[in-house]
Amino acid sequence: MPNTYTQIYLHTVFAVKHRYGLIQSTWKEDLYRYMTGIIQNQGHKLLAINGMPDHIHTFISVNPKQSISELMQDLKGDSSKWINDNRLVKGHFEWQTGYGAFSYSHSQIDTVIQYIMKQEEHHRKRTFAEEYLSFLQKFDVAYDERYLFKTLE
């Protein structure tokens, strides 16, 4: 797109279906590398990726040629196929429906990267549900509690 210049930074959050802790430390780095390739192959730049056994955070410099929903469909669909093709979990792996996407300015890049890279530390203090709800509230996102990520039972 000639003469089109953008600066779009998105922090995305998505969870394993039913929030099961299926992402294992033995293969999570391979998953992150695979997801990095998906993002880069669509013309975006991954700035950070990390998570916990039940969810993942990404921070992406977004290329406007692809919608956020298409990017997330590619990222979640292709990565779940990769997990299943490599038989990394017993049974069938799926991501939970939906995701959170929150925009940040250029001046906040380092702060967001640090937050994502310190997931283990954050989750010693609060749950994923508390974290996710805090993002929705911080960004003043209207939500229906019936459609929030399902909590562990």
Render 65-107 in DSSP notation, one character per residue: TS-HHHHHHHHHHHHHHHHHHTT-SSS---BPS--EEEEE-GG
26 lies in some domain: yes
Q: Read off the pTM.
A: 0.91
What pLDDT, on a 0 to 100 scale, did the predictor assign at position 4?
82
129 lies in some domain: yes
Q: How many domains does the chain have?
A: 1
* Domain of 123, in residue numbers: 9-147
- Is the pLDDT reported for residue 40 higher than 80? yes
* Residues counted in the chain: 153
53 lies in some domain: yes
1 lies in some domain: no
CATH code where residue 120 lies: 3.30.70.1290
pLDDT digits (tens, 9 = 90+) for 106-150: 999 999 999 999 999 989 999 888 899 999 999 999 988 877 766
Q: What is the mean pLDDT of residues 13-39?
A: 96
48 lies in some domain: yes
Location of structure tokens 């040629």: 65
Location of structure tokens 């292709």: 78
Dig out the tokens for 134 from the structure: 């805090």
